[in-house]
Homo-oligomer: A and B are copies of this chain.
Amino acid sequence: MEKLKEYVSVKDEDHFYHQGAVELLIFNFLLILTILTIWLFKNHRFRFLHETGGAMLYGLVMGLIIRYVTKSPDAESGTVYECEKLKSGPSTLLINITNQVYEYQYKREISRHNVNGHQGNTMLQKMTFDPSIFFNILLPPIIFHAGYSLKKRHFFRNLGSILTYAFLGTAISCIVIGLIMYGFVKAMVHIGQLKQWEFHFTDCLFFGSLMSATDPVTVLAIFHELNVDTDLYTLLFGESVLNDAVAIVLTHSISIYSPKENPNAFDAAAFFQSVGNFLGIFAGSFAMGSSYAVVTALISFMHLTKFTKLCEFPMLETGLFFLLSWSAFLSAEAAGLTGIVAVLFCGVTQAHYTYNNLSADSKMRTKQLFEFMNFLAENVIFCYMGLALFTFQNHIFNPLFIFGALVAAFVARASNIYPLSFLLNLGRKQKIPRTFQHMMMFSG
């Protein structure tokens, strides 16, 4: 029942001490390099490379180094266990080795043909992208900061356009990309490029929803540098922030919808259930986020009026503010809603209500704290993205598929922007600048 193959993996001598220090140090080193580069660029007014690009570039180089320079000390020893008793990977595994039970935690799946590749390179394994850190720790400060530093007046003035772009636009983009990719996949199967895989229509839609999330971070950073018109900035900002949330909810809905028994059939009931699910999740997340913000506002208001010694403890206030806002994200995640939507609206509501109740000291503290956290998280993510290109071990390189995806993305952007802009222009008599449309095309 149990077979053993020889493989893998080194035992660290000092499990309890140096674990993680080297990996963290590498990230620190990359970030320091990035900051120094940003500094240099800003001083010399270089424009050709944005700081986020720099972070990614450094990550890329580091990924190359880690992949090809660092050797695994003794990669030969170790085992891959063949186990037929378990149906799927349990989150925790107990293993008895020479009368000592060791606990192992689930990390990830490894695709079959990558097992031989660079297993044994422990450094590479440790640097591999960890989604739970990304979602729970790096993402919330960025989105919260976006909501917190939102220019409310401009945002609410353009709310109609923003919502149209975010909801309708993302949905259109998702469906268009999904359809085009389905065509491509069918063609690829036809010419024999896609024998072994199975790409269903829901998989294509899934891919479409993933691709429809435009990245707010880079575009906003560049817009900020270029000092564009505030309305345009707000429009793009609102769209790209909500867009992320919509795309994530959409992705989640599609992944739930996709029925495993009969994946190709279009089930109308399931579709509407999925749409309802989508709206429910969005509304729930919105409610969760704003209610946390309202609680924060109430607490700080209570303390402002009842206890006069508030200004003595700006630390407690800042701490409470920080923790409650983070909790908004985490509760939404724990409840199966989307933390991103929750923390975004939490940020907006915090800025609207709580901010005015804070002491002068706390106002500045919270602002600077979130600014700093946003800055760090952003750069960490871009470094990570650079690193991931070489350290992520499940890459499958297929030029035709990549080409199809590019075409699909461009068509989707076009089919998204022009009709919607036209619609909004008619409906609201508001002139949307042509530059905006072009910018949107690049934001993908």
Contact A81 B79 (CB under 8 A): no
| A374 to B: closest C-beta gap in Å | 9
Task: Choose from B25, B95, B334 the contact partner of A81 (Cβ within 8 Å).
Answer: B95
**In the complex the two chains form, what is the Cα distance from A348 to B312 in whole Å?**
26
Q: Which residues does chain B contribute within 8 Å of A188, judged by CB atoms?
A: none
A327 at the interface (CB under 8 A from B): yes
Contact A110 B94 (CB under 8 A): yes
Q: Which residues does chain B contribute within 8 Å of A91, judged by CB atoms?
A: 9-12, 15, 122
Contact A101 B109 (CB under 8 A): yes
Proximity string of chain A (80-107) to chain B, C-beta cutoff 8 Å, 1 when within and 0 when not: 1111111111111111111111111111
A228 at the interface (CB under 8 A from B): no
Query: Which residue on B lies nearest to A81, using beta carbons?
Result: B95
Contact B309 A19 (CB under 8 A): no
Contact A104 B101 (CB under 8 A): no
The interface-forming segment of A34-42, A203-211, A273-281, A417-425 is: A34-42
**In the complex the two chains form, what is the Cα distance from A100 to B94 in whole Å?**
19
Proximity string of chain A (394-434) to chain B, C-beta cutoff 8 Å, 1 when within and 0 when not: 00000000000000000000000000000000000000000
**In the complex the two chains form, what is the Cα distance from A1 to B369 in whole Å?**
56
A371 at the interface (CB under 8 A from B): yes
Task: Choose from B21, B35, B83, B99 the contact partner of A112 (Cβ within 8 Å).
Answer: B99
| A377 to B: closest C-beta gap in Å | 11
Contact B92 A80 (CB under 8 A): no
Proximity string of chain A (1-27) to chain B, C-beta cutoff 8 Å, 1 when within and 0 when not: 110100111111001111111101100
| A30 to B: closest C-beta gap in Å | 10
Q: Which residues does chain B contribute within 8 Å of A12, judged by CB atoms?
A: 91, 106
A131 at the interface (CB under 8 A from B): yes
Most chain B beta-carbon neighbours within 10 Å: one of A35, A99, A104: A104
Known: A42-B309, A42-B313, A101-B80. A331 touches B25 (CB 8 A): yes
Known: A104-B105, A115-B94, A339-B21. A320 touches B80 (CB 8 A): no
| A38 to B: closest C-beta gap in Å | 6
Q: Which residues does chain B contribute within 8 Å of A372, judged by CB atoms?
A: 315, 318-319, 365, 369
Q: Give chain A interface residues in 36-92, CB to chain B under 8 Å.
A: 36, 38-39, 42-43, 77-92
Contact B81 A16 (CB under 8 A): no
**In the complex the two chains form, what is the Cα distance from A143 to B360 in whole Å?**
28
**In the complex the two chains form, what is the Cα distance from A323 to B20 in whole Å?**
16
Known: A327-B29, A334-B21. A110 touches B103 (CB 8 A): yes
Contact A28 B131 (CB under 8 A): no
**In the complex the two chains form, what is the Cα distance from A28 to B325 in whole Å?**
10
Contact B94 A15 (CB under 8 A): no
| A93 to B: closest C-beta gap in Å | 5
A247 at the interface (CB under 8 A from B): no
A136 at the interface (CB under 8 A from B): yes
Proximity string of chain A (318-357) to chain B, C-beta cutoff 8 Å, 1 when within and 0 when not: 1110111011001101101001000000000000000000
> Given A84-B98, A101-B110, 10 other A-B contacts at CB below 8 A?
A2-B2, A8-B94, A12-B91, A21-B339, A35-B316, A42-B312, A79-B83, A81-B93, A81-B95, A365-B368
5 pairs, CB–CB < 8 Å, chain A vs chain B? A7-B94, A9-B94, A24-B326, A101-B115, A369-B372
